[in-house]
Structure formats: structure tokens, C-alpha cells
Amino acid sequence: MKAYIAGVQGISTVDYPKKIASVVFLAGCNFRCRYCFNANILDFKEEFLKDIEFVKKEINKNLPLIDAIVITGGEPCLQKEATIEIAKFGRKKKLLVGIFTNGSFPLILKELIEMRLLDFIAIDVKTILEEKAYENLTNNKIDIEKIKESIELVKRSGIDYELRTTLVPSLVGKKELKLIHEQISPYKTWAWQMFRSDIGDIVDKSLVGKEFSKEEIDEIKSLSKKFENVVIRF
């Protein structure tokens, strides 16, 4: 089977909670989040088209060292068959399997859950769960009900999960976080990821150099203490 594969990171200590993982980056995404630092892998370019055996070989190289596989992108649900194949390979090798998704494909997520292929799901809550806000951030027409459906599905799944929001100066800050909190509570874990413009290839170049000030970060930290189960990542 061929798939659009942007790369495999052999060893990561930060992507699967408390485990060492190989991370598979499937190319292609239906969103164009302004802060995304993977702009170069969002299209299904010919150069990414590879046999899925490439992924298996890369994972095999690190098999003695890893506990898990993380399938991310891009948006992995856009390549359902490849995601299933990689997850099944993980199962065969007795590895844990995690997925990172933007939440716009609840039916595919449901299928993966029902096939018992997932042990961890990270699902984005990009901003307040309203179509206009999402469209402004992701440059895409959004059916917000699908995002909500995915979040509820993951919460009910019994599978370990976290909700994830990237905080971006002038786009996603304290005001949005308070509203999101009302919309997503209760939840198990809500990870706040601080935007950094010095890594990767940013979709919206006007964001390059725009970081939160120390004062803003302190305010965000204070806000996090008012909510339950928030982790901040820099």
C-alpha cells in the first residue's frame, strides 16, 4: 500500500505520555491553521508518496527502544487505510498506539476506536467551538458539530486522551481559554501549548516573531491554576 508519508521520527520522549515512541508524520491536512509549523507537509505532494513498508522499516529500526507509535500529520484521518495499517503493525509488535487529530473526522475516529487500535488520542480544540472562530484560525470551512462530536466520542471512549489547545498571541489567549473551558468541561487533561514561531515552517508568516511576553505567560499560568487538569507546554 502506498501513502503520503512526510517522515518518521525514530525516537521521541515527548509525544506519547510517559513512553518512548516513534512518530509517523502522514502528509496532508484539511486545515491550514495559521500557527501550524508544518506548512511544508500539508499538501499531498508526489515526493511524499511512499510504500507503507517504509514506515514499518523505520519503526523496526528502533523496536528495542520504543514502547509506542504515534500517528500524526498533517491529519492522519485523511489517510484512513494507512493509519489502520500502521496501527495494526503497532499492535502486531506489541506497541502502544497513539493518534493526534484535529477532530474533523469523527466517523473515522469512531472506526479506529471500535477496531481497538488506539491507546491514546490527542484531539485539538483549536479555539472556541464556533464556526467563525474556527474558520478564522484554520482557513477552512468547518462543520463545528463534527469537532464537538469527536471530542465527546473521545471522552466517552474509555481510551486515554488529552484535549489540546495552542495558545497564540492575539488569536488564542485568556478570553478564548475561558470560553473553551465552559464548552469542554469536564475533561481528563487539557494541554495548553505555547506558540513558538522559531520552529518549523509557519503557515501565516505574519506570526513569525510574535511570542507571548513574560507578563502574558505569567497571566496564562495564573489562569491555568483556576481550571482543573491543565498542563502547559512550552
Segment near ligand SF4 (CB under 6 A); pick from 28-36, 88-96, 113-121, 152-160: 28-36
Question: How many whole angstroms from its chain centre is CA 78?
Answer: 13
For residue 89, what is its C-alpha cell? Answer: 503493525
- Position among 36, 77, 96, 109 found at the interface with ligand SF4 (CB under 6 A): 36
Pick the closer one to ligand SF4 by CB: 80 or 91.
80
Tell the burial category of 170 from Cβ atoms under 10 Å away from its Cβ (0-12, 13-18, 19+): exposed
Contact stretch for ligand SF4 (CB under 6 A) within 32-40, 47-55, 128-136, 141-149: 32-40
CB of 25 to ligand SF4, least distance (A): 9
Contact status: 79 vs ligand SF4 (CB under 6 A): no
- Minimum distance from residue 65 beta carbon to ligand SF4 (Å): 26
Q: Which of 172, 174, 126, 166 is nearest to 150 (CA)?
A: 126
Among 7, 20, 32, 56, binds ligand SF4 (CB under 6 A): 32
Q: Look up residue 172 and give its DSSP letter.
A: B
Residue number, 64 or 124, with CB nearest to ligand SF4: 124
**What is the x/- site pattern for ligand SF4, positions 37-76, by CB under 6 A?**
-x---x------------------------------xxx-
Helix axes 214-226, 174-184, angle to 10 degrees: 20
Alpha-carbon distance 95 to 21, whole Å? 9
- Distance, CA of 148 to CA of 150 (rounded, Å): 5
Q: How far is CA 161 from CA 37, 100, 178, 199, in A?
A: 23, 10, 21, 25
**DSSP code, position 127:** S
Helices (H), 38-130: 53-61, 80-92, 106-114
Q: Contacts with ligand SF4: how many residues (CB under 6 A)?
A: 11
| Binding segment toward ligand SF4, per CB under 6 A, in 3-11, 31-39, 88-96, 150-158 | 31-39
Q: How far is the CB of 33 from ligand SF4 (least distance, A)?
A: 3
CA 98 from centre of chain: 10
Q: Among residues 63 and 208, whose Cβ is nearest to ligand SF4?
A: 208
**Shortest reach from residue 203's CB to ligand SF4, in Å:** 7
Would you state the cell numbers that stand for residue 114, as one nine-digit string? Answer: 471500535
- Give yes or no for residue 33 binding ligand SF4 (CB under 6 A): yes
**Residue from 22, 79, 83, 102 that binds ligand SF4 (CB under 6 A)?**
102
